[in-house]
Amino acid sequence: MADDKHRDERATRDVAQGGVSTVLFGSGPLTARWRRLAGVALGLALVTFTGYELGVFAVSGGVVFVPAHAALVCLLAAGWAGYAREGLLGGWLLAVATLLGWQAEWATEISARPLVERIAYVVEPTGLAVLAVLGAILAVLGFSVGAVGRWSVERLRAGRQVSTDG
């Protein structure tokens, strides 16, 4: 009896840990997924950089912590990560890459400074820490919406299958 109880507790703990691992790291083979995420992150950084550089995206002015267009791209990317089960860390990576693309473009606007100073601005530890925190906030929001959307679609499909089977 006691062994059954301990076995059940272990099984519950293993499922809970597997769930947390799946939420954080996603499901499926890790290496291929992280390569894909790295490529998408690089693409998002380039899209954001180019969007701001060409004037497709704009900063409205005043004191701006996160411009609306960059935040929207972050939310969409993290939402995709949640829907595609890429993991919350994958969503965070996509959000931070998007914000880094915006910050890199902003550094090009400081044209009076030497190139080395502009690069130093982009990779400054304090600035990167701020981007990491902002990315985490946006990633959690977007990822949650994407994951709930995936869960809703799966429930609708399961309900439709039950009604057509019966």
Portion of the chain with pLDDT greater than 90, in percent:
46
Give per-residue pLDDT as tens, 66-108: 888 999 999 999 999 999 999 999 999 999 999 999 988 878 8
* Secondary structure percentages of the chain, helix, strand, coil, to 5: 80, 0, 20
| pTM across the whole model | 0.78
Give per-residue pLDDT as tens, 5-18: 655 555 445 444 55
Q: Report d(CA 34, CA 27) in Å as an integer.
A: 11
Q: Report d(CA 72, CA 65) in Å as an integer.
A: 13
H-type alpha helices, 55-87: 68-83
Predicted local confidence at residue 97, as pLDDT = 96
